[in-house]
A and B are shown apart, each in its own frame.
Chain A
Amino acid sequence: MAIDKSLKDMTFEDYCRTVFNTKKRYDKPEVLKGIRAISTTQYILGPSCAAYLAELGAETIKVELPKRGEPMRHTTPFNEPFLYPLSRWMPEKGTGLGFFGANPNEYFLSLDFHKPEAIQIMKRLAAKSDVACENYRAGTFDRWGIGYRQFKDLNPRMIYQWMGGFGGWGPGRNRASYDILGQAQGGCFSITGWHKEYGGMPSKQTIWIMDYWGGAISAFNVLACLYWRDNVSGKGNFLEYSQVHGAQRHLTDFISLYGKTGIVPQRFGNFEPLLCVHGILKCGKSSYPNSKNPQEQEVGYCLVSAYKDEDFQKLCKMINRADLAKKYPTHADRVGADAQSAIYPELEKFAADKTKEEFDKACKANGILSQPVWNSKEVAANEHWHMRGTLQWLDDPTFGDVLTQGPAYQLSDTPARVRWAFKPVGADNEYILSKLCGYSGSKIADLEQKEII
């Protein structure tokens, strides 16, 4: 296709603005259109894998227990915010916001795997699908007769992604995993949190970062297998993703540091063992002192990065402590634990009578890299992200006006998109069972009557 002359002559910024125009996102084709995935997943790890495929346009069918759905629907911050209905059978119950973000664009089918008819339905779906995502305990679906070994006979082109905690084999395989367990066993928590002078506690990341990362890596593996199937071999594949192994995969230099020197990396709180100054400072004042929300009344924090010698000099001048720049002139002088422990408190003294915005402004005026630590309110208000479509108000067909994340990446001709946040349990039973299994309305009503769906 010839490039439009006007596109050719544009600045790069205008070119990006035009080809990635998020207002036209819904008018363009989807890159995984024609791929069908079954998602028998729960919590976040498995669902996020399926959701990434669905955002790219795969027809993704989430299969859950009838009426109640998967456990994540019943999880919400402090048991407060819910979207209603949970299912058509339980309109008075809602789905917790913990379910948000891991299940967009999916079709929702309910099936009770304990009933033989449900197993037959799963086999019919498998015969017509390209991908299956699953994160029950290792071997559960195999035992039920709907695992990869059985599906492979029905559909040798199927790519089956199992996700779990510790792998399908080996002595540790039988435990169920959660993000928190994966991070604890994978070594992540041991390096996040406070230095011993500050109490020494390891700290967890509040978001389920190892679930979402594992989901992304799993979706990435699925795409690689689709390539291999469609361009090389014609065959499906059985994939295993273990959360513990995923957690340790991103430990950067810490494993090799141990291997080379025997050093067990320590926590360093909001400082950085490799660079100084490069951390988060406590500012003494709240940005919203009169807010009724206690979360907003807390004092602010601001990131500052000035590890190059000349930047450190500027920073010292800014806080009227040129003597510190003399005492620690080179990065090697500053990066040691004792030096860092001496430098950061002086910076916090300067920040003690300032809000995070005031501290940030002072840094910027002196040519120093800084960024106030934003909360969800400030992230949600950020125009840049709304403009680029990574945050959006979605007019959801079932739940109305909801604020949600969109895909964090752009594809010019085949953009990913959020079509709906999620749906109630079993919302697409008729659509999926009639389209893929050829069932009549009365047959579907009968399945519902027998509590199979």
Chain B
Amino acid sequence: MPFKDASLILQCPKCDVINYLDPFTFWNFKGKVKCAGCDVVYEVALTNGIRAGAPKETKGPHDRCPGFAQTKDWKPITTPGKVAAAPQAREDFQGKPIPISKSIRGKVVSGKPLTAADLVGSVPKMFYNGN
């Protein structure tokens, strides 16, 4: 099978950009996908990760963006709006420590950076003092 016909890849016939239809989103999918290179919208259908036929050029708006895209000479395209954001476990995902001071049921938890003055030995003062 030629590379451009592989199931989860949409190589744009117009601009040659390779749009990766990530399996998480596109395993079972029928709808419109926008090329990350030239914004042309294609109709795509996949069942259990297998492509139903060649992508057909159509009019927008698109349903989804590809998960990841590359130009023909392997330069990644990461511009928001051109490719979809990676699926995240939470809306406010930052990828770095998010300070918290309450558990999900609203009680005190030591979840934020402290200073040496905040400690008694190894224990935060608030717990040592019973808040």
Tell me, yes or no, whether A binds B.
Answer: yes
Interface residue ranges, A against B (CB under 8 Å): 77-85, 87-88, 91-94, 197-199, 292-295, 393, 397-403, 423-424, 426-427
Q: Which of A199, A293, A402 contacts B103 (CB 8 A)?
A: A402
Chain A residues contacting B88 (CB-CB under 8 Å) are 294
B107–A400 touching, CB < 8 Å: yes
Chain B residues numbered 72-112 whose CB sits less than 8 Å from any CB in chain A: 87-91, 93-98, 100, 102-105, 107-112
Chain A proximity of B112: nearest CB distance (Å): 6
Chain A residues contacting B95 (CB-CB under 8 Å) are 78-80
A85–B108 touching, CB < 8 Å: no
Chain B residue with the shortest CB-CB distance to A399: B110
* Interface stretch of the complex, out of B12-20, B33-41, B60-68, B117-125: B117-125
Given contacts A85-B114, A294-B91, contact A398 B109 (CB under 8 A): no
Given contacts A82-B97, A400-B107, contact A92 B123 (CB under 8 A): no
B114–A83 touching, CB < 8 Å: no
Chain B residues contacting A88 (CB-CB under 8 Å) are 116, 119, 121-122
A-B contact count (CB 8 A): 104
Q: Which of B96, B104, B111, B121 contacts A84 (CB 8 A)?
A: B111
Q: Which of A292, A294, A399, A423 contacts B109 (CB 8 A)?
A: A399
B110–A398 touching, CB < 8 Å: yes
B103–A92 touching, CB < 8 Å: no
B110–A84 touching, CB < 8 Å: yes
Q: Which of B91, B103, B116 contacts A403 (CB 8 A)?
A: B103
A-B pairs, top 10 by smallest CB distance, nearest first, are A401-B107, A91-B114, A400-B109, A427-B122, A401-B103, A92-B113, A424-B122, A88-B122, A399-B110, A400-B108
The interface residues of chain A, by DSSP majority, are classed as loop
Place the interface of chain B in its size category: 35 or more
B127–A400 touching, CB < 8 Å: yes
Q: Which of B90, B114, B127 contacts A92 (CB 8 A)?
A: B114
Given contacts A80-B96, A85-B114, A91-B119, contact A199 B49 (CB under 8 A): yes
Given contacts A80-B97, A83-B109, A398-B124, contact A199 B114 (CB under 8 A): no
Chain A proximity of B17: nearest CB distance (Å): 24
Given contacts A80-B97, A398-B127, contact A93 B113 (CB under 8 A): yes
Q: Which of A79, A87, A94, A403 contacts B122 (CB 8 A)?
A: A87
B110–A83 touching, CB < 8 Å: yes
Chain A residue with the shortest CB-CB distance to B131: A400
Chain A residues contacting B97 (CB-CB under 8 Å) are 79-82, 94
Chain B residues contacting A393 (CB-CB under 8 Å) are 103, 105, 107
A83–B111 touching, CB < 8 Å: yes
A294–B122 touching, CB < 8 Å: no
Considering the chains assembled together, what is the distance between the CA atoms of A423 and B123 in angstroms?
9
A84–B114 touching, CB < 8 Å: yes
A292–B91 touching, CB < 8 Å: yes
A197–B48 touching, CB < 8 Å: yes
A78–B89 touching, CB < 8 Å: yes
Chain B proximity of A157: nearest CB distance (Å): 32
Chain A residue with the shortest CB-CB distance to B27: A199
Chain A residue with the shortest CB-CB distance to B113: A92
Instruction: Determine if B31 is an interface residue (Cβ-Cβ < 8 Å).
Output: no
Instruction: Determine if B53 is an interface residue (Cβ-Cβ < 8 Å).
Output: no
Chain A residues contacting B48 (CB-CB under 8 Å) are 197-199
Chain B residues contacting A400 (CB-CB under 8 Å) are 103, 107-110, 127
Considering the chains assembled together, what is the distance between the CA atoms of A83 and B49 in angstroms?
41
Considering the chains assembled together, what is the distance between the CA atoms of A295 and B109 in angstroms?
24
Considering the chains assembled together, what is the distance between the CA atoms of A424 and B116 in angstroms?
13
Chain A residues contacting B122 (CB-CB under 8 Å) are 85, 87-88, 398, 423-424, 426-427
Not counting A83-B109, A92-B113, a sample of 17 additional A-B residue pairs whose C-beta atoms are within 8 angstroms of each other reads A84-B111, A84-B124, A85-B119, A88-B119, A91-B118, A91-B119, A92-B114, A197-B48, A198-B48, A199-B49, A293-B91, A294-B88, A393-B105, A393-B107, A398-B124, A400-B103, A400-B110
Chain A proximity of B65: nearest CB distance (Å): 15
- Which of B27, B88, B111, B127 neighbours the largest number of chain A CB atoms within 10 Å of its CB? B111
Chain A residue with the shortest CB-CB distance to B102: A401
Considering the chains assembled together, what is the distance between the CA atoms of A97 and B110 in angstroms?
12
Chain B residue with the shortest CB-CB distance to A402: B109
Chain B proximity of A49: nearest CB distance (Å): 25
